[in-house]
Amino acid sequence: KHRLQKEGRYFGQQNTDGAFHAYAREICLYLYSLCKDAQLTEDLMQESFCKAILALSSEHTNIRAWLYTVARNLCLNELKKRSRENYDDNLHSFSGSVSDAAEPLISEERSWAVFKALSKLELRRREILQLQYFSGFTLKEASKFMGLTYDNARVLSHRAKQEMKKYLKEDGYEI
């Protein structure tokens, strides 16, 4: 038997399959919003769920939050590594195009406009809105997740929404 299995910590394939089906799409969109790279998103998704199989306790109460935390940390670590290696700094740039993998998810014109405006935001502003509106976290949960006070998260969210409105108005949308 696997060492983790003996210790009662083995998450298992069956539990991972359930978690994958429940959270894969939202974590994939979250990762893509951070890194803007479909291949990197796929790699980070695979690594996140592999870590779940190997390290997550079967008694863990909030698998979703754990997966978000692991995925976020993996993504930020990879972006820092790429930046140090003088590759494209995907953290602060937007290529203006959406990968083939993301196109089916962003089909309507309004969704595209929101996605485009969201992509123009600085990472922390983009992340707070992503967690709040697309991942279903409350502002309080998002603030804890990002390591911010509730008041700082509230201000960050407000400023992000104001900036989003500005970008959407520039594209001809009435808010």
Length of the chain: 175
Number of neighbours of residue 94 by Cβ within 10 angstroms: 13
CA angle 116, 120, 126 (to 5 degrees): 95
Percentage above 90 pLDDT, the chain: 19
pLDDT per position as a tens digit, 68-113? 888 888 888 887 777 766 444 444 444 444 454 444 444 456 677 7
pLDDT per position as a tens digit, 45-66? 888 878 777 776 666 677 788 8
Lookup: tokens for 22: 């429940």
Q: What is the DSSP string of 39-85?
A: HHHHHHHHHHHHHHHHH--TT-S-HHHHHHHHHHHHHHHHHHHHHHT
pTM of structure: 0.51
